[in-house]
């Protein structure tokens, strides 16, 4: 074998490309952007990350058709109940400031349903695992959904109250004394906001839309009604939704005289109701935090 020595090797040098040669391309490897930013609950960015999750939850809540139906239903129910009460109840002198809060009893039910759907629809449509994977600590999801549920409960309550006032005036009754109206609005909105949070909490535990809504309605409209009608007064005052409704100051013919006589101050009734809300929210948060993302 012979070796051609006319072209000796050059070690450690590079030749520049000629005009007929293409220069070698250099590439820089960069990671693909994530579809959603993974949250880190520590550090200065936690607030911004929570705001991003909150914005996402708000968009989902305002674009779901069921929530739009609930807002419309709140307005219709408020108008009809107040108008019918003002037009057909003639055995007592009623004013608009008395009647406009009546629809809140049913508006709170709608708020609870909205809270349930805020979580269970994600389970139903399979979007929850992606959200939990993007936010491994789970707490941003819990906080954002709680804030959105509270806000939606306030919106439903405000719509129901406004529609109730318009319906009462349309029924032909006078406005009445408005000095205590702001206080009534405060207790009513506190009740609807708490109902939405309670619905969200139960939804986080049960994670099934139909089952959660059905169970919530049976408890609220059937079980609590039986307890209020037949149980001792000491038991009645600790029934959650009835305790919250007592803050509205609505008296009905179904109330037992001993229950009315043993009524507590609004602050105490609200404390009992919100005690259930906070306890259920903690339980729902614990269940969600420990839930696998699959």
For residues 167 and 82, is the Cβ–Cβ distance under 8 A?
yes
User: Which pLDDT score, from 0 to 100, does residue 25 have?
Assistant: 44
Lowest-confidence segment of 78-87, 116-125, 180-189, 276-285 by average pLDDT:
116-125
Can you give the pTM of this predicted structure?
A: 0.80
User: Which pLDDT score, from 0 to 100, does residue 261 have?
Assistant: 86
Mean pLDDT taken over the chain: 83
Mean pLDDT of 44-48: 66
Domain ranges of the chain: 48-289
**Phi and psi of 210, rounded to 5°?**
-65, -45
pLDDT category at 136 given cuts 50, 70, 90 is low
3-class SS string, 6-37:
CCCCCCCCCCCCCCCCCCCCCCCCCCCCCCCC
Give the number of other CB atoms < 10 A from CB of residue 28. 4
Look at the chain and count its residues. Answer: 294
For residues 114 and 212, is the Cβ–Cβ distance under 8 A?
no
Residue 21 has pLDDT above 50, yes or no: no
Nearest 5°: the CA angle 223, 286, 156 is: 55
User: Which pLDDT score, from 0 to 100, does residue 108 have?
Assistant: 96
3-class SS string, 190-219:
HHHHHHHHHHHHHHHHHCCHHHHHHHHHHH
For residues 156 and 192, is the Cβ–Cβ distance under 8 A?
yes
Q: Among all chains, which residue has been given the structure tokens 């020595």?
A: 5
| Segment of 132-146, 225-239, 253-267, 271-285 carrying the highest mean pLDDT | 271-285
Mean pLDDT of 241-269: 89
The two tokens of residue 147 are: 């804030």
User: Which pLDDT score, from 0 to 100, does residue 135 have?
Assistant: 66
Q: What DSSP assignment string belongs to 40-66?
A: -SSSTTHHHHHHHHHHHHHHHHHH-HH
Share of the chain above pLDDT 90, in %: 55
Please tell me the distance from the alpha carbon of residue 271 to that of residue 163, in angstroms, as a whole number: 28
Give Cβ neighbours of residue 161 (< 8 Å, ≥ 6 apart).
Answer: 78, 100, 101, 103, 104, 107, 185, 188, 189
The two tokens of residue 286 are: 């614990």
Shortest CA distance to 149 belongs to which of 63, 213, 57? 57
Q: What is the CA radius of gyration of the chain?
A: 30
Mean pLDDT of 97-103: 95
Mean pLDDT of 25-44: 43
Q: 171-214: per-residue pLDDT in tens?
A: 999 999 999 999 999 999 999 999 999 999 999 999 888 989 99
Residue 71 has pLDDT above 90, yes or no: yes
Mean pLDDT of 128-132: 72
């Amino acid at each position: 074998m012979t070796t051609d020595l006319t072209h000796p090797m050059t070690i450690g040098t590079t030749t520049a490309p000629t005009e007929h040669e293409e220069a070698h391309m250099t590439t820089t490897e960069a990671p693909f952007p994530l579809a959603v930013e993974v949250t880190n609950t520590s550090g200065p960015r936690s607030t911004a990350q929570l705001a991003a999750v909150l914005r996402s939850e708000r968009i989902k809540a305002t674009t779901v058709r069921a929530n739009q139906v609930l807002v419309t239903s709140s307005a219709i129910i408020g108008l009809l109940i107040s108008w019918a009460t003002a037009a057909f109840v003639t055995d007592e002198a009623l004013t608009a400031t008395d009647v406009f809060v009546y629809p809140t009893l049913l508006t709170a039910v709608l708020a609870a349903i909205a809270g349930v759907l805020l979580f269970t629809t994600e389970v139903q449509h399979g979007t929850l695992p992606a959200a939990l994977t993007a936010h491994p600590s789970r707490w941003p999801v819990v906080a954002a959904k709680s804030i959105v549920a509270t806000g939606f409960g306030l919106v439903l309550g405000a719509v129901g109250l406004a529609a109730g006032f318009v319906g009462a005036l349309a029924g032909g009754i006078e406005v009445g004394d408005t000095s205590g109206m702001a206080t009534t609005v405060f207790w009513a909105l506190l009740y609807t906001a708490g109902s939405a949070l309670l619905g969200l909490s139960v939804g986080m535990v049960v994670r099934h839309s139909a089952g959660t809504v059905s169970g919530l309605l049976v408890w609220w409209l059937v079980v609590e009604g039986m307890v209020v009608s037949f149980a001792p007064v000491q038991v009645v005052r600790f029934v959650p939704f009835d305790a919250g409704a007592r803050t509205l100051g609505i008296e009905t013919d179904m109330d037992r005289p001993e229950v009315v006589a043993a009524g507590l101050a609004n602050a105490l009734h609200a404390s009992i109701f919100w005690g259930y809300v906070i306890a259920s929210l903690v339980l729902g948060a614990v269940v969600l935090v420990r839930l696998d993302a699959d």
